[in-house]
Amino acid sequence: MEYLTEMQQRVLLALYDNDKVTLRKLIELTKSSTAPVNNAVKSLKEWGLVEEIEETGGFPKRRYIKLTEKGKRVVEKLKELYSLIEASS
């Protein structure tokens, strides 16, 4: 795994505060555009930090993105790091 980019961190933090979201909602939450969020999600999926789930039964089918357990642990460590940085300012 490489280092997390700012966009990847924003995606992880947005997902931590929201159980599962559509890509459109994730773009809104990160205040970004489609390409950067898509790229971040793709990398995070490859690293096992997020997963995509598809809910069937409705039309159109909805695809959601959510944190994996590994992703939740990473976000908790990120939050600890942010707290340390903030406390030392």
> What is the domain-level CATH number for residue 14?
1.10.10.10
Task: Give me the chain's average pLDDT, please.
Answer: 93
Examine residue 68 and state whether it is found in any structural domain, yes or no.
Answer: yes
What tens digit of pLDDT does each residue of 21-40 get? Answer: 999 999 999 999 999 999 99
Residue 1 belongs to a domain = no
Task: Give CA–CA dist 27/36, Å, rounded.
Answer: 9
- Number of separate domains in the chain: 1
The residues, ordered by sequence, that sit 6+ positions from 16 with a Cβ below 8 Å of its Cβ are 67, 72, 75
| Three-state SS at 32 | coil
Q: Among positive and negative, which fits the CA dihedral 45, 50, 51, 56?
A: negative
pLDDT of residue 1: 64
pLDDT at position 72 is 97
Whole-structure pTM value: 0.89
- The tens digit of pLDDT for each residue in 51-68 reads 999 887 777 778 899 999
Phi, psi (5° rounding) for residue 19?
A: -50, -60
Residue 2: the pLDDT is: 81
